[in-house]
Amino acid sequence: MKRIFDTGNAAITEAAIIAGCEVYAGYPITPSTEIAENMSRRLPQVGGYYIQAEDELAGLYMCLGASLGGKKVMTSTSGPGYVLFSDPYGWGISCEIPVVIIDAQRVGPVSGITGAPGQGEFYLSRYPTHGGNFETIVLAPASVQEAFQLTIEAFYLAERFRTPVTILADQLVTDGWESFCIPETQEERNEMGIKVMDRKVNYGPVFYPATDEIDIPPVVLGHNTGAACSDWTPTEDGYDTEDSAAHMKHSYRLVYKIRNHRDIIDRHEEHFIGDDPDLILVAYGSPARVVISAVKKARELGLKVGCIRLISIWPFQDKLFSRKTKYLSVELNFEGQLVREVQRATSNGSEVHFFGKCGELPSVNELIGVIKNILNDEPIVTQQWKSEAW
Amino acid sequence: MDNLANKYLRAQKIPSTACSGCGLGQVHKKVVMAIDELNLGIEDVVWGTGIGCAGRQTFNTWKGDNFAGTHGRVYALAAGLRVALAPEKKIILTVGDGDAFGIGLLHLLHCARRNVDMTVIVADNFGYQSTGGQFGYTTPIGYKTDSSPYGMNEANWTQNGIDILKILKDAGATFLARHTSFEGQSAVESIKKGIENKGFSLIHALYPCVTNFGGRALGSRKPEDSYKWFKEITLKKDEEVKEGKIGFHTGVYYDGSDTRVEFATNIREFTDRIEGGAKHD
């Protein structure tokens, strides 16, 4: 193993290289710019191509075009660029094109604060485009090492499911410096559980089957397969159609190829859950690290609390919230996004609370205070924020 | 279907669902004629389309590989595809004026700047006709459409000294031509040169929409009236554009074939150099 001290952006870059990324196209934006910079240095060294696009729309479309030509691809951005992905995201989802998309969440809305962490794209990563009739795969790293591993996973899942896979990171993960390990031998890769899938070519004549099966090769142009892929609703052989029965089949595939293979997508981590805690904290990404520390401290204080850290975000893991108890969603936004899903997923009678900050992490002490408030049935009151509606 | 269509096009898509009297089929046919005269096979061309009449009508008509982008984005998609495709494969795009000169112009200009090897056929029906006939960026000034009921009152890309082909030339395009769908072999020859150019080629192909542009802007849905109007706007070699009028000289606008390095060739060579250096180190 090679031990490196660097940023999440650097880890994501090295992960992409190991996963076999051949083309990166993107547009510089804080706090993911270093991925573009690192890719411009690393890709040509391994025979790949770096393209600096004229905007994020073009960046993701160039990736999709290169993937359509048979290359494994990645792009990266942050909030203001992530919204511009909306159009190509939909194209990639409907045409079933493998692509890895990194979103380093910062403070919004709009340009907001560039160099501080936020978690405002929780729902946007589930609904990155219009029109509905699809499911998404979204993974959220909480550390530099995890950013490395999930990026490799994202490439693997993108090929198997032939769909865009999103890494929903945040500024602390992408800009943050930590030591992380890179495998140097096949043995070390196996040890780390790294799986790499090469691109296969779909030779037709069925390009868009009405099934939930995975591991069907994607459409690759240039092999004279007679493939057709477009923004229109496709028939199984790729013709554009206005037929709603055909659209139902297409939608079934886009939704259920993901929903029916949760076993290879779902990921989470639990701490102190075994003894039916009075309060379960829920978080993903950077804030989850403070949450874990706060739960450990609370246990030392004799408080019966536990936590769930979500690693895969979408599809949402409803089954994790089947216990009837109190929940507290800790997020890097002020209005509460993850909390809505937790509230939806919990069994009847569970209380769901929210504590949010943005641009900075909560402290352990702050969270201990909130935990005590909830356990004592007191309102959560934070400085300069009068009351918590949740 | 004629022999040419049998050879290259999908029976399911021919004839198209275009309106009677539409000139798009003539543009489409000239592209296929050019491909045939260059002795290219189905496997040699990957065909892309955009949104609008030109995009939807020509999508997946090609017997080989096809793709269609969302409105205005097929140029970026094709640029990405270009680096992945074998260099000898031809990318041909048939798109409309709104797609290329409106919503997609940013990407189109960057493809010209990068000199991405593709041949873009802009089938121009003078506005947004598939949505019922709104003005676009080549609609003549003063002409009435459903969104310019008092006459188109902003500048366009093809009048009063502005020419989109000049903009594209300045941006770095290496082959540019303009024709109407009424022209024959001269248009085919230009498309052939465009396809042969290892770089960014664009053929601006003007064609009549009798249903919407004819009906509203020209005041007649008779194909012969559209034909007469096209005769008026197609200028003779030494004929000048009349003040306040629209008029086009057709033929090759600029032939800089193979004068600039092509995008994918450049990126491949660049990577080879760096990769070679990395191995050497």
**CATH 3.40.50.970 residue ranges for chain A:** 2-191
End-to-end CA distance of chain B: 60
Q: Structurally, what CATH architecture does the domain formed by A270-375 represent?
A: 3-Layer(aba) Sandwich (3.40)
Preceding peptide of B87 cis, ω within 30°: no
Verdict on whether the full-model pTM lies above 0.90: yes
3-state SS, residue A51: strand
Identify the segments of chain A with pLDDT beneath 70.
Answer: 382-390
| CA distance linking residue A141 with residue A32, whole number of Å | 14
Alpha-carbon gap: B67 to the closest alpha carbon of chain A (Å): 5
Nearest to A281, CA basis, from A299, A261, A260 = A299
Taking CA–CA distances from A227, the nearest residue in chain B reads: B65
A62 with B60: Cβ contact below 8 A: no
CA separation for the pair B206, B138 (Å, rounded) = 10
Q: Does B56 touch chain A (CB under 8 A)?
A: yes
Which CATH number applies to B3-280? Answer: 3.40.50.970
pLDDT band at B79 (very low <50, low <70, confident <90, very high): very high
- From the list A42, A3, A52, the residue with the least C-alpha distance to A21 is A42
Compute the nearest-CA separation of A238 from chain B (Å): 8
Q: What is the pLDDT of residues B170-195, one digit of tens each?
A: 999 999 999 999 999 999 999 999 99
- Give me the pLDDT at residue A84, please: 98
Q: For chain A, give every residue range classified as CATH 3.40.50.920.
A: 270-375
Q: Using CB atoms, pick whichever of B65, B77, B274 lies closest to residue A65.
A: B77
CATH topology of domain A2-191: Rossmann fold (3.40.50)
CA of A71 vs chain B CAs: smallest distance (Å): 6
> Which chain B residue lies closest to A204 (C-alpha atoms)?
B65
B25 exposure class (CB count in 10 Å sphere: 0-12, 13-18, 19+): middle
Closest Cα in chain B, distance from residue A311 (Å)? 31
Query: Among partner residues B13, B68, B107, which is closest to A232 by beta-carbon distance?
Result: B68
Establish whether the linkage from the previous residue to A88 is cis, with ω within 30° of 0.
no
Chain B CB contacts of A47 under 8 Å are 271, 275
The predicted structure's pLDDT at residue A304: 98
String of b and e for B174-201 (b: at least 16 CB within 10 Å)?
A: bbbbbbbbbbeeebbbbbbbbbebbbbb
**Closest-CA residue in chain B for A40?**
B271
pLDDT for A388:
53
Q: How far apart are CA B25 and CA B22, in angstroms?
A: 7
Give the closest of B42, B60, B77 to A224, CB-based.
Answer: B42
Chain B residues 125-164 with CB within 8 Å of chain A: none
The whole-number average pLDDT for the span B25-42 is 98
Interface test with B, best of A27, A61, A237 (most B CBs within 10 A): A61
B12·A23 Cβ contact <8 A: no
- The CA distance from A251 to the nearest CA of chain B, in Å, is 19
State the DSSP code for A333.
S
Nearest CA in chain B to A88: B70
Residue B32's nearest CA partner among B57, B63, B53, B56 is B63
B222: its two tokens: 């008779």
3-state secondary structure of A79: helix
Are the beta carbons of B59 and A240 separated by less than 8 Å? yes
Quote the CA–CA distance of A331 and A239 in Å, as a whole number: 44
Tens digit of each residue's pLDDT (9 = 90 or more) over B232-250 = 999 999 999 988 899 999 9
pLDDT of residue B1: 56
- The Cα A33–Cα A9 span in angstroms is 8
pLDDT band at B278 (very low <50, low <70, confident <90, very high): confident
Question: What residue has token string 């984005």?
Answer: B73
Q: Is A83 exposed, middle or buried (0-12, 13-18, 19+ CB in 10 A)?
A: middle
Closest alpha carbon to B116 in B54, B188, B158, B168: B168
Q: Closest to B73 (Cβ–Cβ): which among A46, A68, A88?
A: A88
Q: Which of B46, B79, B107 sits opposite A221 (nearest CB)?
A: B46
How high is the pLDDT of residue A322?
93
Shortest alpha-carbon distance between residue A65 and chain B (Å): 4
| Phi-psi domain of A96 (left: phi exceeds 0; alpha: psi -120 through 50; beta: other) | left
From chain A, the residues in CB contact with B110 under 8 A are 54, 58
Question: How far does B14 lie from chain A, in Å, by closest CA?
Answer: 13
pLDDT of res. B15: 85
Residue with tokens 């002409």: B143
Q: Which residues of A265-288 are buried (b: 16+ CB within 10 A; e: fewer)?
A: bebeeebbbeeebebbbbbbbbbb
Q: Are strands B251-255 and B175-180 parallel, antiparallel or unpaired?
A: antiparallel
- Smallest Cβ distance to B107: which of A54, A70, A230? A54
The pLDDT value given to residue B248: 97
B86 close contact with A: CB closer than 8 A:
yes
pLDDT at position A390 is 55
